[in-house]
Structure 1
Amino acid sequence: MKSDMTKGAIAPILIKFMLPLFIGNLFQQFYNMVDTLIVGRYVGTDALAAVGATGTIMFLILGFANGLATGFTVLTSQSYGAHDDRRLRHSIANAVILAVIVTLITTMVSVISMKSILRMMNTPDDIFDYAYSYIITISYGICASVFYNLGASILRAVGNSKVPLYFLIFSACLNVGLDFVCIVGFDLKTFGAALATVVSQGISAVLCFIYIYKKQRSMWPERSDWHLEARDTSHQLRVGVPMALQFAITASGTMIMQAAINLFGSTAVASFTAASKIQGLITQGMPSMGQTIAAYAGQNFGAGRYDRLKDGIKNSMIIMTVYSVVAAVLSLSLLEPAMHLFFDSAQDVAVHLPWAIPYIRFCAMCYIPLSAIFIFRNMMQGCGFGFLPMMGGVVELVSRAIMAVLSMKLMIYELASACDPAAWLTTGIFTFVAWLYVAPKIEKMFAGRQITSTENQMK
């Protein structure tokens, strides 16, 4: 099941491709949130705070590894758009080999440095053991996340966004079941929550590659493809490394923000965790459109369709502006009732609302810039431009760091809760300007291709 995104009406193509991604991302957020819900209700507020305190570290580790894996498949998307089957197959083999290397290195570094990272982030002593148990298990299971994302990205690169959704729904249901078994049944606490996540993602990864082998056999690499080739390795690293660094830089900013939140105690951390999970669920349209634009850009860049790249930007921004307004209304109206889900009946949710409300209010005002980041960044990355999107991550880091440091110096929680929206606003502007700089370069590249093609036809 493939989809050619180089022809036809653009808005319907984007929406049709995006919807399965959106549903899949909702399920992914859902089972991440279920971890939090079950931990909060059956283990306690300290454990809930511990899972929240490690969220930014998990984003750093998995974001870096998965950024590389996703970047590796940009070449797959471009090869598909160019109808180059041989290079498509080899790009997949090359990506798998590189992903194995990335996984081994990332796992080793994460396991060795984890306690130091938790200390550096001001993790409160009363939740430290819970936090370490959770994040070290996630670190040992990095391979599950990397290879699920790699398999799903390979399928999306050729326009198939539905099959990864089916596997993700299965994984989400499995994760919920394993949460109850590990946490409620065997009382494994935060270790059980992490174990359930790793196992369910690992099974999803296996299913993705079985599907590619069985159902998309023409894409499966032949024996001669299973080696690192200098040209493809260079291309994949040139796109993947900046994507990974962009994730890592962004995550570093969120870690600084989390360090500021941690200074206000475990109640603030638990409240912030619950609010961010609610927001994460509501705003999944933004990364879904980003994934859509990455595949769309890769195929149309490979096909030399600059006109469709420009129209893709316009159509996606209209769609996401409407979505952002709806998301803002939902996040503000659903916050208080949804907060009750995260705490047992003995907890007074009113104690947590003063910590949760400022964060949601500030963020809701900046959903449109957040959408712009995903659209412009993924458009550039899908066309093979990795440096400026990576610099967007630097802008995010600096913006969050300034707000977080001010918060820690002045001990004002509202400044810490404004870290995300400040980063989204500044980076949204930066990525828009970056696209204005990159777009003429892409147009010239396409003009050069057409001239070369015409000359070849005349010879």
Structure 2
Amino acid sequence: MASRIKNMTEGKPVFLIVTFALPLMVGNVFQQLYTVVDTMVVGKALGVGALAALGAADWLNWMMLGTIQGLTQGFGILMAQEFGAGRLERLRKVVGNATVLSALGAVLLLVIGQLIARPVLVLLQTPEEIIGNALLYLRIMFLGIPIVMAYNFLASILRSLGDGKTPLHAMIVAALTNIVLDLLFVLGFHWGIAGAAVATLIGQMVSILFCFRHIRKIEMLTLQRSDFRMEGHLGRRLLFLGSPMALQSVIISVGGMIVQFVVNGFGVLFIAGFTATNKLYGVLEVAATSYGYAMITYVGQNLGAGKIDRIRRGMRAAVGVAMVTSVAIGAAMILFGKIVLGWFISGTPQEVEQTMQVAYFYLAVMSICLPILYLLHVTRSAIQGMGNTVLPMVSGIAEFLMRALTAVLLPLAVGETGIFFAEVMAWAGADIILVISYRKTIREVSRFQRKESAFPDRTGR
């Protein structure tokens, strides 16, 4: 297991970032594979109505997932910093306290999810013919919130230590499990949209067992009962890092729900086409999220080691690699997007044609503008890795405002197609805040390091 732990404070930044990100990319590919299979099975076997129901549930489901990922990523920042600084006893205490907070957060989110599911769908004016399936899907997914929290927390521990391979293997096993169960539950047992939800949760459960088995082999993470005893200062520090990231996801999700509200007014076929492309969103950003995770770990470890110049070099390398990757993925989706979208859509020839027109136009807009999204992920993660999760939350507010205003106003000027630019405008708004914030944060960190060097006796080390 020790060989999978990666010290990112030494070596070429571009090599470290890419080699850390690559296993995560492969894992994300498998994760997107079962998302695609979910959508394909539902869309082809159950029709455009069921596909539209998935779309109606998307943003509320993503809000819960994003909240969980925000919390656990925030906890992982402090783990990476303690590991980079070589404070292993403190690292164990951080993991123990974060475990307690994650468990409490899972219970709270489960209750909230069940309470708000139907009222939110009604508020969004979800069409009557799809609201039943959308609600059923959300009820099941929200019951599985503790499962989703457990996987993301365990994966954040591994990533904070530089281990991107174990989450990759866990995701491969989970994806294959999910695909088999999707086919069995939906096509074999005829459980409908509920079968897709259950298959997803069982797949995540398998990934939990896989990650937990490997974490138990890491000697430095052998926890004592005392490590789980909450410390007020440490708990507040973890929540200070995790809460803004979670709140950022909530803010972004509310903007997405406003978009969904507008889309719901365009009818079931438009919703289905919009959903088909949204299910490929993860494919578009498959490398962006991986570079983001790599930057959180890279920056966190180098900050802990006091190597600020390496953070700057790593940032330049990551942006360059991200731009090249985004152009390649965007070009591939423009060339082959219609083929992939065709896997999701079924119905009469007229229904398929109308749905495809909506889906491909939306896909083309996002593919052309993909470098904007990749810059967002790299820059935001670098700031978070430096321990500042508030400024990225501010960028989430900018993202919300741009997404909501574009969704509401642009269709009034140019018609239905205006809604397709809401996502791109949200990325651009966030990028403006993030680029300025990165420059501000790296200067502050550099000044702090100079003060530490001048007065080493004040560091407490």
How does the TM-score come out when normalised to structure 1? 0.96
Deviation at 1:94, TM superposition (A): 0.8
Q: Which one of the candidate residues 77, 82, 92 is aligned to 1:79? A: 82
**DSSP-derived class of the 2:280 partner:** helix
340-349 or 37-46: bigger deviation? 340-349
1:71-97 alpha-carbon deviations (Å, 9 max, x no partner): 112111101000001011111111110
Partner of 2:309: 307
Structure 1: distance between partners of 2:319 and 2:459: 38
For structure 1, the 5+ residue unaligned runs are none
Partner of 2:54: 51
List structure 1 segments (4+ residues) > 3 angstroms apart after TM superposition: 344-349, 407-411, 454-457
Partner of 2:41: 38
Confirm or deny: 8 A CA contact 2:173 2:206 kept in the other structure.
no
1:207 aligns with 2:210: yes
Partner of 1:350: 353
Structure 2: distance between partners of 1:113 and 1:456: 46
1:184 aligns with 2:191: no
Count of aligned positions: 456
1:114 aligns with 2:111: no
Partner of 1:218: 220
Deviation at 1:345, TM superposition (A): 7.3
346-355 or 270-279: bigger deviation? 346-355
Q: Which one of the candidate residues 254, 261, 264 is aligned to 1:262? A: 264
Deviation at 1:46, TM superposition (A): 0.5
386-395 or 279-288: bigger deviation? 279-288
Deviation at 1:354, TM superposition (A): 2.0
Within 5 Å, which residues of 2 pair with 1:265-280?
265-280=267-282
Q: What amino acid maps onto 2:221 in structure 1?
A: M
Q: What amino acid maps onto 1:273 in structure 2?
A: T
1:453 aligns with 2:419: no
Q: Which one of the candidate residues 399, 404, 407 is aligned to 1:404? A: 407
Deviation at 1:15, TM superposition (A): 0.7
Q: CA RMSD in A?
A: 1.7
Structure 2: distance between partners of 1:385 and 1:347: 52
1:23 aligns with 2:26: yes
Structure 2: distance between partners of 1:336 and 1:381: 36
Q: What amino acid maps onto 2:275 in structure 1?
A: T
1:278-299 alpha-carbon deviations (Å, 9 max, x no partner): 3421331111111110111110
Structure 2: distance between partners of 1:193 and 1:19: 28
Structure 1: distance between partners of 2:219 and 2:442: 36
1:130-177 alpha-carbon deviations (Å, 9 max, x no partner): 111111111111111111011011000000000110011000000011
Confirm or deny: 8 A CA contact 2:38 2:196 kept in the other structure.
yes
Confirm or deny: 8 A CA contact 1:74 1:382 kept in the other structure.
yes
Deviation at 1:203, TM superposition (A): 2.1
For structure 2, the 5+ residue unaligned runs are none
Q: Which one of the candidate residues 283, 291, 299 is aligned to 1:297? A: 299
Confirm or deny: 8 A CA contact 1:73 1:91 kept in the other structure.
no
Q: What amino acid maps onto 1:296 in structure 2?
A: Y
Confirm or deny: 8 A CA contact 2:380 2:434 kept in the other structure.
yes
Q: What amino acid maps onto 1:330 in structure 2?
A: A
How does the TM-score come out when normalised to structure 2? 0.96
Partner of 1:62: 65
